Structure 1
């Protein structure tokens, strides 16, 4: 258990900076931080795919690749549920012109094995004849809907059909654009665990969401975000269909930290991260869609939750959270445990200075001032 003095020390900000640190860099990785050095969501999805699925042999090939329309973050977020088993695959986007050559090349590299029903590619949203032609050599399934709430309902239904059960833990998020940063926090969790999201609005619960809730018997409903995003009125309405818990926070950064630390011991829901030896993913609030295409980092490897960086910078709340999970050792740093993080975004979006601070805050240090000799 860290003392108050240690927590204050670990949460402290640097006193001085070296303005030459980012000059002539040969690598954008540091010892405790791996960076995906791009702000392009398509590039990020391919980097993620290649890091998570080497595809060198059957055990490292994905089952099903997920494609979603790049103009709809709400469809993309709901689609993330399919990253999990039995699909076990990356998520890419397509646009009005079709599936890009880069994505087609990556799918060819992956050689997806197919899920339990042999489906190699799941396409979300309406697709053109051209997309059908592009994917003609694969076994494809598509999922369409007219609204975000209807789409989330269909994802829930399809996942339950694949796994023969409706999960009892459900995340409720807003589908409205002003709520995007709050809602996207849930994506990393539903890629990590087979638990869906359902959509509401600030002051209303769509019929499709109610219909999905009624398929369960007293489910555990977790609202992500404050009352200004999902009102008390909606919370009360949802309580008619199950047990409701809100994961609060005044802003997206605080919600991401609250979610990362939250754990419901009775249901097993939540990351519950308040000790060292963890993986984390950091994304700037200026590049929110990266939270969709990099979500597989929560599915395999270090199983990372998402922490927002406000416009690419570290807030006080992040400093204090990192202090809580700072690893310490008694005799030798080889004892561990170790923290590691992924940083999603370019040097222009998240500075090398910020990366250096995160790297240092994740570093294992001596429990006492005696240090390691």
Structure 2
């Protein structure tokens, strides 16, 4: 990892302040040299009035920064109960593991390499000092998926009470996570999200929901339901509420029909990954409360690009604490038309004064090589509160 942060409370505040001061990418030294493109000050976070950027495209770093943003670990209440670690190179297993972010674990997903634990992850686990989940026998660390003897030795050196969900088959591990969560929480969720293990661009919006609520993510391929997924659904005794995420190009009509044997099936889909994420952010099942149902102003969203599943998973905790956010996809240099239109639907309007609110906000995960400063500015503009009559937004100030 390129940068390491050993952050106490004062350093956290200083880093945030420096991030704001350097969001234009220009340090005092750069100004003296007439070079606005170089900065001597690292900016882990870059903020605008309506957005906050996790300023790295390294998934290991991003997971640590998200953790530091949400779990300050300055008091008993700001420490997680347990933390999940999983292989950064297996997006399917990592995505399913975000189900364990939710209570009673109340902790982030951090990344390891199957053969090694990055120093930044070790340092963050020490900083968090997880309390132990009461309903899970005081477990402080849950390893999900395969791990080498060397990586396990590194983790054991932290002397945390550890559990492991083993396996390297994504469908089987996802089913094991479903059973593990039900045991720890004391209840098997009847709702289930089914996504394609071959199409992260359609499946990944699920991670923010399962980090926010208890429903799991189970896997199918386009034309097949794995035995492990079928067995997990059988546990619902025909009463499952199954939500397929993605169009028929990701999960076929035959699989949809087959799933009907296990309960009611609803497909949530869009014509491309951008539309698909929007469709999920808008969806609400009035019969049981499943889904974000975000169609009005006064909300938070989380932006990543489609080309880094590990970054999207690192950002999943933004739906669990703070301004709970669904996942949206955007492009490197700006929003697709469909995303722009959706933010226009969410744009806050005021009658007399912008102090009325409500307000929108966005998390952006990735450095400027992933999502440019211009794209961040565009998102910021589209989230700004505006007068209902369409007049000058600054009139009356």
TM over 0.5: yes
Q: Do 2:334 and 2:378's aligned partners in 1 also have CA atoms closer than 8 Å?
A: no
From the superposition, tell whether residues 311 and 229 of structure 1 become closer, same or farther in structure 2 (CA, over 3 Å): farther
- Who is 2:203 aligned against? 183
- The number of equivalent residue pairs is 351
Counterparts of 1:22 and 1:50 in 2: how far apart (Å)?
22
Question: Of the candidates 188, 208, 222, which is equivalent to residue 202 of structure 1?
Answer: 222
1:41 corresponds to 2:59: yes
- Who is 1:18 aligned against? none
Question: Of the candidates 323, 334, 337, which is equivalent to residue 344 of structure 2?
Answer: 323
Counterparts of 1:361 and 1:171 in 2: how far apart (Å)?
30
From the superposition, tell whether residues 158 and 252 of structure 1 become closer, same or farther in structure 2 (CA, over 3 Å): same
Question: Of the candidates 232, 248, 251, which is equivalent to residue 212 of structure 1?
Answer: 232
Residue range with higher mean Cα deviation, 302-311 or 292-301: 302-311
Q: Do 2:332 and 2:375's aligned partners in 1 also have CA atoms closer than 8 Å?
A: no
**Distance apart, 1:184 and its partner CA:** 1.0
Higher relative contact order (CA 8 A, sep 6+): 1
From the superposition, tell whether residues 200 and 366 of structure 1 become closer, same or farther in structure 2 (CA, over 3 Å): same
1:95 corresponds to 2:113: yes
**Distance apart, 1:95 and its partner CA:** 1.1
Counterparts of 2:121 and 2:221 in 1: how far apart (Å)?
33
1:270-310 residue CA offsets vs partner (Å, 9 max, x unmatched):
00000010000010112222111111001100010010013
Per the normalisation by structure 1, the TM-score is: 0.91
Counterparts of 2:155 and 2:391 in 1: how far apart (Å)?
61
Counterparts of 2:353 and 2:302 in 1: how far apart (Å)?
27
Counterparts of 2:329 and 2:155 in 1: how far apart (Å)?
35
**Distance apart, 1:97 and its partner CA:** 3.3
**Distance apart, 1:133 and its partner CA:** 2.3
Per the normalisation by structure 2, the TM-score is: 0.86
- Who is 1:9 aligned against? none
Question: Of the candidates 188, 191, 196, which is equivalent to residue 169 of structure 1?
Answer: 191
- Who is 2:163 aligned against? 141
Counterparts of 1:69 and 1:294 in 2: how far apart (Å)?
15
1:321-358 residue CA offsets vs partner (Å, 9 max, x unmatched):
00100001111111100000011111122111111111
Q: Do 2:246 and 2:267's aligned partners in 1 also have CA atoms closer than 8 Å?
A: yes
Q: Do 1:173 and 1:224's aligned partners in 2 also have CA atoms closer than 8 Å?
A: yes
Q: Secondary structure at the match of 1:307?
A: strand
Counterparts of 2:25 and 2:373 in 1: how far apart (Å)?
6
- Who is 1:281 aligned against? 302
- Who is 2:260 aligned against? 239
- Who is 1:11 aligned against? none
Q: Secondary structure at the match of 2:95?
A: helix
Counterparts of 1:264 and 1:312 in 2: how far apart (Å)?
34
1:271 corresponds to 2:292: yes
1:128-150 residue CA offsets vs partner (Å, 9 max, x unmatched):
23233222211000111241111
**RMSD over equivalenced CA pairs, Å:** 1.5
**Distance apart, 1:312 and its partner CA:** 5.1
- Who is 2:101 aligned against? 83
Question: Of the candidates 241, 249, 266, which is equivalent to residue 228 of structure 1?
Answer: 249
Structure 2 gap ranges (5+): 1-23, 27-35
Question: Of the candidates 251, 257, 265, which is equivalent to residue 278 of structure 2?
Answer: 257
From the superposition, tell whether residues 257 and 312 of structure 1 become closer, same or farther in structure 2 (CA, over 3 Å): farther
**Distance apart, 1:370 and its partner CA:** 4.8
- Who is 1:61 aligned against? 79
Q: Secondary structure at the match of 1:161?
A: helix
Q: Do 1:169 and 1:220's aligned partners in 2 also have CA atoms closer than 8 Å?
A: yes
From the superposition, tell whether residues 132 and 288 of structure 1 become closer, same or farther in structure 2 (CA, over 3 Å): closer
Counterparts of 2:240 and 2:100 in 1: how far apart (Å)?
21
Q: Do 1:63 and 1:86's aligned partners in 2 also have CA atoms closer than 8 Å?
A: yes
